[in-house]
Structure 1
Amino acid sequence: MGSERVEMGQSVEDGGGEQNHTPGRSSSTRAPPDACCFCWCCCCSCSCLTVRPAKEEKMTTISEEQEEADIDQTPQLSLEEVQSWAESFEHLMKSAHGLAHFRQFLKSEFSEENLNFWLICEDLKKEPNNLTVEQTVKQIFEDYVSVMSPKEVSLDSRVREVINRNMQQPSSSTFEEAQLQIFMLMQRDSYPRFMGSSMYADLRQKLEQPEES
């Protein structure tokens, strides 16, 4: 992990990524303290600085809000649907109810950032506005890829290098390989634990019990 962080630091400095946000780093081209966080420029009166917390909060909650909306529009959870989650990870990820319960499980394991990252990347693919895509890509990088972020997801050095190259021209596919790696990580590690958890067993048992007359 240490080597990955060193590689990441070197790549970001070469690509013009996060050095403007690191306190105490000396550089002749460093942006002023109030430089724009999205455009990575040296503007000194950026209006987005005052609204960044709201945008950042929206980024971290948009997928969860969409998840709740999807649940409201789906039929009541059935035993058949819950049983289908055990058939494959794909079945779980395609289920609005499944995502909600899987999220609660990941929260208990303090790894919710993996699902959030995957879902936000899915939302990014559907965004038609190029400016919004560019801003969203940079925010996702800060929130989930930067080694300075508490929500950093686990990515290997090869994928990080791919991301650093892609950041030169942000697009809806910037995190494609990273998203696949996180999907595989959840499928390999978190999914089996969820299926063997008391949370899943209790949910099945509740639905299997006949309703009392």
Structure 2
Amino acid sequence: MVFAIRIRQFHTTLVSAEKNGLQKLIPPRLKTIWNQMLVETKGAGNGPERFEMIRQKYKALTADEIQKYKNKLQEQFDAEKKRFMETLRSFTPTEIDSENRRRSKEAHSTGSRYYRLRHPDVPKKPSSAFILFYKELRNNPKLRQELGIPEAISTLVEETQNASKAWKELAEDKKKPFIDKSKALKEQYDKFMKEAGFR
């Protein structure tokens, strides 16, 4: 039973064997020197021998050699990321949204994690008035002092709760700048989406 569950978790959208290119699309990751050395020593001895070989090889690297490895891996990552973004652009935002919903549903049913795709040319959705207020609160000590919110908050949950309470108690004239800015950002977003043909 456990084996069956693991197979289901592996066969998620992130590694799907289906023909749909969007379903198989996963973002590149920046490889480590260890990853690269595993590739370079493929077929060289059994597991323990190979790992010891890599350990000794890494231990003997000079600072310049380590930097060369890092530069090479960064170049590979940049090239892979560029290809990834170009591939994403070949799909419409609607297709990507549909795929994200499918991934979410499948991940929920298997208990797996999934990567949410995002069209490179679509801007992030504008922040709500409360989120704009929350960001200002985090970066403005004077505002925190005015609202009686202490500087040091132990947890993010407590920080959010304090911000939510402060927002609810905030006078309407104090809320207005955040509400107006949120509306303006929403209008800009909607205009861009329409002009770009994403709606």
TM bracket (short chain): under 0.3
TM-score using structure 2 length: 0.23
Larger radius of gyration: 2
TM-score using structure 1 length: 0.22
